[in-house]
């Protein structure tokens, strides 16, 4: 007899129920009828906010398309900046546009700082993720320790600033994904991984898929029944569970090694700071297992975002050669040929910062931060959002709001940069924004100083991308050509690492 697996959660524990096909069909019919009744009741009882017609069972899931953030912005033109959709059995409010989103995240910052209890969130960082946990005392303690450990290894004093800069400059000579992860590993574990390290490469390749499940509009959290039979959503979800487990085990292993050799008088890296802050302080408010969760969160958040922004920057530089030439001319004038760009050059290279911010605005590669369920009824732009309704924040729409930007769909680096929203805002804004901007600046400056980037004429570059927590360019090739002599970097002395001309000279980089 063919048997079908049904996976559920009971008291936080996973349980497997095996159903025969007739029982499965009966369950579906029952669920369908239940949903249809709820749907009719909803229509009669609470006509809610404006929004499109929602079908029973699936709601508006079929309308989201490949790029939900663009669909959300289109729906806003019809229904206004605050409207309601239905995904599976969940009512969802979508906020769009600069004014509505800032009103929610800044003026009502506490109400919009929560996170829903989505099942997929339970798999991140061993179930103790700060990023995917609800607002409360524990999240505050977790955020405090994460922020202070990041600061201790980046902006705390001139020595840490310099060491941080050196990691970035050196890594900039190798490219994108592995380098971004290595910067976080250098801070967290005091070591980097060779680009040939198979374990590291495999984990990063898998992490690339992390955002597919936790991006706003991901169906598995609003239609948990999709887990009960083979379908593409279930496969993505299974991969998500596996990659989280593998990545968490990788980090846990390193944390265990740190614990064994921990010496309170010597701080080797961020993991030591986090162990000290959580395990060796009286009032951290967090248990021991939050150490590995914090390190996992920081590496995960710091790797995926930076590697994605660098992929877009390289793609746009190759796509717009005039912009690239203008930036190189400026860098050559300020830095010259005999040294690499440094963080001190930033004040003279404001046009480069403008290009980076404009890339972030134009692509808005974090289109919707995690959903938030306000714990009490809230009013945004005069419209009532019922308590606990899941709210999607369409960050992309802020950066393409025609009331705010003259030509939102054109890439135009302005020297005065303000109002780009890529790190979210309010209580849950990114804690890595400053180090992210330093990383993006140094990476781009060093790469442009050393190399020129070109597209392959037979493969024109497009802005097509895949949707998730981050928008990633579809696979494409950009060639990097060495511009002059390759300069030495501090990391060249590192024993596990060898740079040579092929790193940069006329190599095709797969983005
Ligand atoms: C260009 C790079 C980056 C972008 C665009 C970015 C964007 C964001 C956004 C939009 C959020 C809010 C997420 C949400 O509400 O669910 C966030 C949160 C967060 N970011 Fe970043 N980030 C970047 C780099 C980094 C780096 C380098 C780190 C760490 C080293 C980091 C650590 C975090 C953490 C821990 C949170 C969770 C904060 C909380 O929930 O309280 N991010 N980031």
Examine the domain organization and report whether 270 and 357 are in the same domain.
Answer: yes
Of 374, 307, 235, which Cα lies nearest the Cα of 511? 307
Examine the domain organization and report whether 233 and 127 are in the same domain.
Answer: yes
Work out the mean pLDDT of the chain and round it to a whole number: 81
Residue 51, token pair as written in the block: 């929004």
Give the separation between CA 149 and CA 272, rounded to whole angstroms: 9
Percent of the chain with pLDDT over 70: 79
Q: What dihedral angle (degrees, nearest 10) is formed by the CA atoms of 427, 429, 432, 434?
A: -100
Cα 308 to chain centroid, rounded: 9
Ligand 1 centroid from CA 432, angstroms:
6
Examine the domain organization and report whether 317 and 333 are in the same domain.
Answer: yes
Ligand 1 centroid from CA 433, angstroms:
7
| Averaged pLDDT, 310-323 | 93
The per-residue pLDDT for 241 is 86
- Expressed as residue numbers, the domain containing 1 is 1-47
| Residues sharing a CB contact under 8 Å with residue 318, sequence separation 6 or more, in sequence order | 324, 453, 454, 455, 461, 478, 479
Q: What is the DSSP string of 383-434?
A: EEE-TT-EEEE-HHHHHT-TTT-SSTTS----SS-----SS--GGG--SSHH
The per-residue pLDDT for 423 is 95
Ligand 1 centroid from CA 436, angstroms:
9
Examine the domain organization and report whether 32 and 82 are in the same domain.
Answer: no
Is the pLDDT confidence value at 213 over 70?
A: no
Examine the domain organization and report whether 268 and 330 are in the same domain.
Answer: yes
Atom of ligand 1 nearest to the CA of 428: 41
Residue 246, token pair as written in the block: 């593998």
Q: What is the DSSP string of 206-238?
A: HHTTTHHHHSTT-HHHH-GGGGGS--HHHHHHH
Atom of ligand 1 nearest to the CA of 470: 5
Q: How many domains does the chain have?
A: 2
Give the separation between CA 80 and CA 98, rounded to whole angstroms: 13
Give the separation between CA 443 and CA 438, rounded to whole angstroms: 8
Give the separation between CA 378 and CA 420, rounded to whole angstroms: 25
Ligand 1 centroid from CA 300, angstroms:
9
| Relative orientation angle of helices 137-152 and 290-319, to the nearest 10 degrees | 60
The per-residue pLDDT for 42 is 60
Examine the domain organization and report whether 149 and 15 are in the same domain.
Answer: no
Q: What dihedral angle (degrees, nearest 10) is formed by the CA atoms of 67, 70, 74, 79?
A: 90
Ligand 1 centroid from CA 429, angstroms:
7
Examine the domain organization and report whether 380 and 438 are in the same domain.
Answer: yes
Residue 290, token pair as written in the block: 């939050």
Query: What are the CA-CA distances from residue 204 to residues 46, 200, 233, 234 (Å)?
Result: 46, 6, 21, 21
For 297, the enclosing helix (H) or strand (E) is helix 290-319
Per residue in 168-212, pLDDT (tens digit) is: 776 665 554 466 566 666 666 666 677 677 777 777 777 777 766
Examine the domain organization and report whether 22 and 92 are in the same domain.
Answer: no
Per residue in 346-395, pLDDT (tens digit) is: 999 999 999 999 999 999 999 988 888 888 889 999 999 998 899 999 99
Pocket test for ligand 1, best of 121, 290, 305, 355 (most atoms within 8 A of CB): 305
Q: Among the ranges 147-161, 287-301, 412-426, which has the highest mean pLDDT value?
A: 287-301
| Averaged pLDDT, 134-161 | 89
Exposed/middle/buried for residue 40 (C-beta within 10 Å: 0-12, 13-18, 19+): exposed
Query: What are the CA-CA distances from residue 372 to residues 63, 393, 428, 471 (Å)?
Result: 21, 8, 10, 20
The binding site for heme comprises: 430
Degrees (nearest 5) of the Cα angle 214, 219, 223? Answer: 125
Examine the domain organization and report whether 127 and 43 are in the same domain.
Answer: no
Atom of ligand 1 nearest to the CA of 422: 5
Does residue 1 or residue 206 have the better pLDDT?
206
Examine the domain organization and report whether 155 and 250 are in the same domain.
Answer: yes
- CB under 6 Å to ligand 1: residues? 130-131, 143, 146, 150, 297-298, 301-302, 305-306, 309, 366, 369-370, 422-424, 428, 430-432, 435-436
* Domain containing residue 328: CATH number: 1.10.630.10
Examine the domain organization and report whether 38 and 66 are in the same domain.
Answer: no
Examine the domain organization and report whether 200 and 83 are in the same domain.
Answer: yes
Q: Which of 25, 47, 69 is the endpoint of a domain?
A: 47
Pocket test for ligand 1, best of 132, 372, 432 (most atoms within 8 A of CB): 432
Ligand 1 centroid from CA 423, angstroms:
6
């Amino acid at each position: 007899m063919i048997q079908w697996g049904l996976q559920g959660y009971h008291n936080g524990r996973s349980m497997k129920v095996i159903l025969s096909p007739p029982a499965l069909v009966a369950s579906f019919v029952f669920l369908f009828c239940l949903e249809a009744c709820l749907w009719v009741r909803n229509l009669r009882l609470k006509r809610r906010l404006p929004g499109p017609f929602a079908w029973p069972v699936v709601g508006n899931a079929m309308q989201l398309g490949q790029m939900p953030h663009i669909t959300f912005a289109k729906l806003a033109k019809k229904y206004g900046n605050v409207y309601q959709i239905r995904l599976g059995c969940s009512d969802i409010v979508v906020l769009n546009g600069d004014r509505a989103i800032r009103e929610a995240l800044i003026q009502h910052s506490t109400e919009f700082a929560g996170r829903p209890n989505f099942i997929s969130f339970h798999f991140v960082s061993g179930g103790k993720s700060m990023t995917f946990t609800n607002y409360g005392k524990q999240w505050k303690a977790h955020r405090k320790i994460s922020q202070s450990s990041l600061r201790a290894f980046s902006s705390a004093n001139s020595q840490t600033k310099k060491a941080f800069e050196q990691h970035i400059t050196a890594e900039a000579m190798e490219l994108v994904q592995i380098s971004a992860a290595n910067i976080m590993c250098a801070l967290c574990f005091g070591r980097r991984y060779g680009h040939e390290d198979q374990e590291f490469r495999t984990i990063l390749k898998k992490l690339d898929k992390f955002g597919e499940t936790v991006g706003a509009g991901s169906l598995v959290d609003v239609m948990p029944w999709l887990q009960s039979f083979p379908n593409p959503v279930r496969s993505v979800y299974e991969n998500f569970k596996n990659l989280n487990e593998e990545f968490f085990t990788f980090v846990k292993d390193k944390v265990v090694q740190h614990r064994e050799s921990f010496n309170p008088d010597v701080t080797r890296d961020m993991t030591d700071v986090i162990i000290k802050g959580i395990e060796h302080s009286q009032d951290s408010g967090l248990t021991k297992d939050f150490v590995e969760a914090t390190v996992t969160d920081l590496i995960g958040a710091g790797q995926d975002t930076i590697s994605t922004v660098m992929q877009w920057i390289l793609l746009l530089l190759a796509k717009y050669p005039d912009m690239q030439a203008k930036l190189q001319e400026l860098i050559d004038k300020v830095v010259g040929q005999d040294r690499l760009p440094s963080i001190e050059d930033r004040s003279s290279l404001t046009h480069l910062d403008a290009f980076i911010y404009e890339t972030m605005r134009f692509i808005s590669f974090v289109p919707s931060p995690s959903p938030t369920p306000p714990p009490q009824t809230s009013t945004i732009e005069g419209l009532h959002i019922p308590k606990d309704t899941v709210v999607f924040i369409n960050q992309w729409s802020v950066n393409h709001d025609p009331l705010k930007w003259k030509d939102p769909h054109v890439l135009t680096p302005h020297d005065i940069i303000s109002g780009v929203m890529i790190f979210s805002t309010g209580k849950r804004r990114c804690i890595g924004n400053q180090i992210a901007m330093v990383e993006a600046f140094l990476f781009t400056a060093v790469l442009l100083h050393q190399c020129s980037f070109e597209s392959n004429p037979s493969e024109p570059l497009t802005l097509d991308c895949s949707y998730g927590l981050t928008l990633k360019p579809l696979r494409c090739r950009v060639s990097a050509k060495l511009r002059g002599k390759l300069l030495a970097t501090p990391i060249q002395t590192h024993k596990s690492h060898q740079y040579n001309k092929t790193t940069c000279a006329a190599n095709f980089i797969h983005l």
